[in-house]
Amino acid sequence: MTSSVNTSTLFRLALVALLLFPAFSAVPPQSSATTVCQYTQFPSFCRSTIPINNSTANVYDYGRFSVRKSISSAHKFATLIDKLLHRSSTLTTGAIRALQDCQYLAGVNIDFLTNAFQTVGKSQTALSTMKSDDIQTMLSAILTNTQTCIDGIQATASSWTSKNGVLAPLANDNKLYSVSLSLFNRGWGVKNPKKRSTTPHKKHIGFKNGRLPLKMSERTRAIFETVGRRKLLQSDDGGDEVVVSDIVVVSQDGSGNFTTITDAINIAPNKSVAADGYFLIYVTAGVYEEYVNIPKNKYYLMMIGDGINQTVITGNRNVVDGWTTFNSATFIVTAPNFVAVNVTIRNTAGAIKHQAVALRNGADLSTFYSCSFEGYQDTLYTHSLRQFYRECDIYGTVDFIFGNAAAVFQNCNLYPRLPMSGQFNAITAQGRTDPGQNTGIVVQNCNIRAADDLGSTKTYLGRPWKEYSRTIYMKTFMDSLIEGAGWREWSGDFALNTSYYAEFDNTGPGSNTSGRVTWLGFHVINATDAVSFTTSSFVMGDEFLPQTGVPYNGGL
C-alpha cells in the first residue's frame, strides 16, 4: 500500500507538471464534446457551450467553434460597453474610466481572436513552434485583458448599480476564452517542442551596412554620426547591426524635429514590417513632463535617449486621484516590436498615492535596454504578451513588478525602496489566471539590493496576485533585505497550492532557501527545469532579439 507521503509526493509532481506546461497529449481524431471538454478548466460549461452533434468532429472542429463563438461574445461585450458609456452621465468618473479601459481591451480582444481564427480556421495539424507560441500568446492575452476589465470594474464605486450587468457576461466570456485556449493547446500546440539553443548571444546596437536611409538630410546624418560616436547605435565587435528606416530628433530647445515625444510618435509610419527597419526617435537629454502612449499600429518603433537620468519621462497619475491602475502609467506601449534604450521613466506620485504606474507594457516582442523605471507601488506593469528587459534599473515598493506578460528580466538591478508606514515590499505580483497561459515573470542574473531609503522594511520576492501566479528567480544575487521565507501570502491560503514559484542557483545572503515557505506552489528547481524559463525558450528571444541589436543570453 502506498504511503501517504508518497501519495502526496506524486500529487505534487503531477500538479507541478500541469502548472508548468499544460499537457498537449493527443486527443482521438474523432472526439465527443465530453471527451474534448475534459481537458478544459470548465468541462460542464464547455459541453453546454460547444454542442457539436457530429460523429466525425475532432478537436480541431471544437477548437474552431470555440474561437468563432469567442469572437461573437467579444463583439457583444464591446456593444454593451459602448451602450453604457453613452449613458455615462449617470456614472461616476471612476466607473467611466474603468469602462473606457474595458472598451479598449474589448477591441484588442476582437483583433486577437480574429487573428487567431485566421490560423485555426484553416489548419488541422500542429503548428511551428513560433506560430503556436504566437497564437497561445494572443489567447493568453485575451484572458488577461478580460481580467483587467473585471478588476477595474470591481475597483469602482460600489454605488454603480450596473456593475453586475457587466461582470456577469464577463465571467462567462472568461470561461469561453479559457476553453478556447485549452482546445488550442490540445489541438495545435507544439507537443514536442524542439530543444532551443542555450548558447549565449552577444548583440549590439548598430546600423546595418548598406541599409542606411537613401534620402538622409544633412542634419539627420549629423545626428546619426553623433549618436554613433556615443556607441548607442554602433556595433563594436562585428555583431548584428540594426536596420533603421528613418531618424527624427526630439529636443526641448527646439534644435530637433520636435519638442515633444508625442509629436514624434504621431508621424511614425503605421504597421511597418521588419524589412523596413525601425523608425528611430532620438530623445535628447531633458525632463519630459508628458504622458507617452505608443499605440498598437506603430510597429517597429525604436526610442533612444541620452542615458538613464539624462532623458527622463515623468508623470504622476495614480489611483488615489481617480485614475485606474491600467491608465495611471506615465508611459504606455502596445505596439509590437518596440525597443527603448537609455531612458528613465518615472511616476512621481509617491507611496501615499498607492497604485501609480511608471511603464505599462502590453507590446508583444518588446525590448527595454539600459532603462530605468522609478515609482513606488505598481511601478512596472508587465501587462501582457512577450517582453524582454536587459540591464534595466527598477525601483518600487508594493508589487512593483506586476502583470501577466511572459516577461524576462536579465542583468537588471531591482531596488526595493521605503513604502508607506505599515507596508511591506513585494518585488513581484504575477497575474496568471489560467494554467494554459504561457505567462510568468523570470528574473535572471539580476541584482536585488536595497534602495538608499529602504531601512528595515520587510521585503519579499513576490506574492500570488492571481490563482496561477508564476515567477522564477535564476542565478540572481539577493542581498540580506530578502526575508528568509522568501514569499508572502496574498490573502489567507489563496493560490498557495496553484501558483508556481521557483528559485534556481541564486546567490547572496537573501538566497538561502532553507527557511522558505512550504507551499505546494514553491520549488527549488534544477537546471533541467530552469532551461524552460530561459530567454530563448520562454519568450522566443532568438526570433526577435537579434534584429534589435540588444545583447542577450539565450540560455542559463
Which positions are catalytic?
A: 399
SS3 call for 398: strand
| CB of 67 closer than 8 Å to CB of 180 | yes
CA distances from 235 to 204, 213, 278, 357 (A): 5, 18, 16, 34
**CA-wise closest residue to 278 among 544, 539, 547, 543:** 547
In whole angstroms, what is the distance from residue 539 CA to residue 556 CA? 14
CA-based torsion, 183, 186, 187, 192: positive or negative: positive
Could you tell me whether strands 200-201 and 552-553 are parallel, antiparallel, or unpaired per DSSP bridges? antiparallel
SS3 call for 218: helix
217-239: string of b/e by CB count within 10 Å (b at 16+)? Answer: eeebeebbeebeeeebbbbeeee
In whole angstroms, what is the distance from residue 262 CA to residue 293 CA? 7
Which stretches within 201-315 are classed as H helix?
A: 218-229, 261-266
Beta bridge partners of residue 377, listed in sequence order: 355
CA distances from 490 to 120, 128, 268, 469 (A): 37, 38, 42, 11
The CB density around residue 171, as the number of other CB atoms within 10 Å, is: 11
State the cell numbers at 31.
Answer: 472526439
